Amino acid sequence: MADKEIFTVTDGKELIQFARDNIKYFLKNREGMMIPEVIREKFKENYGAFVTLNTHNAKGNPLRGCIGYIEPKFALYDVIHKVSISSATEDTRFSSVSIDEMDTITIEISILTPPKILEVSSPNEYLEKIVIGRDGLIVERGMKRGLLLPQVPIDHDRNWDVETFLNHTCSKAWLSSDAWKDIKGTKISSFQAIIFEEKTPLGEVVRKYFS
């Protein structure tokens, strides 16, 4: 993405620490923490972003919560402040994270580019335009919408191809897995992300790259 050099690993560390502190503060006090002025000043540009929580060393799918905003409508600090709490307490697939559990969870932050609709004349063109590891996908049909981040088809040894990625994104939107083949009724958009993750709970933060 064009902005990939704007955010350094140091920035990623600060955002992840902010997200972790905010979650723990909320679990103790039932309200978000005050946003430090240095965070407000440094991350005041508008971006879409997701906060993902994973249970460290879990067998199978380690996902513990993932919430975000797609469009760049709010300051990045505000997005992280809101969705870090939501990922820990409002993801309807899971019960709320407990404060003790936070010591077993790694945090991942994905900062998104604005999504762009993929214009095609046949479904097979999606297979050529979408690059695994680079692109995240949004599937929309009527009021239904599903999103999967760029890391999803690669993380945890999934090794999905593009068609599998499209199928799963359609299912995430509560559509049939082959809804992407209906190019008139189903809209497919792609986006990219800068991704930072903790290697271990409270441990080293790295930027994730995919080949």
Domain CATH number, residue 51:
3.30.700.20
What is the C-alpha to C-alpha distance for residues 13 and 164, in angstroms, rounded to an integer? 32
pLDDT at 84: 98
166/120 same-domain check: yes
Q: Would residue 181 count as lying in a domain?
A: yes
89/135 same-domain check: no
23/63 same-domain check: yes
What is the C-alpha to C-alpha distance for residues 38 and 185, in angstroms, rounded to an integer? 45
pLDDT at 5: 62
68/15 same-domain check: yes
What is the C-alpha to C-alpha distance for residues 17 and 140, in angstroms, rounded to an integer? 33
Enumerate residue ranges in the chain where pLDDT < 70: 1-5, 210-211
Instruction: Please report how many Cα atoms fall inside a 13 Å half-sphere around the Cα of residue 138, on the Cβ side.
Output: 20
54/86 same-domain check: yes
Structure tokens belonging to residue 119: 């214009």
Query: Largest Cα–Cα distance of the chain, in whole Å?
Result: 53
Q: Which domain holds residue 178?
A: 116-191
pLDDT at 6: 81
* pLDDT 10s digits, 151-165: 999 987 888 999 999
pTM, entire model: 0.86
% residues pLDDT > 70 (the chain): 97
Q: Would residue 2 count as lying in a domain?
A: no
Q: Would residue 57 count as lying in a domain?
A: yes
Strands 48-55 and 105-112: what pairing? Answer: antiparallel
pLDDT at 158: 86
pLDDT at 66: 96
pLDDT at 36: 97
50/139 same-domain check: no
Number of domains the chain contains: 2
CA of residue 170 relative to chain centroid, distance: 17
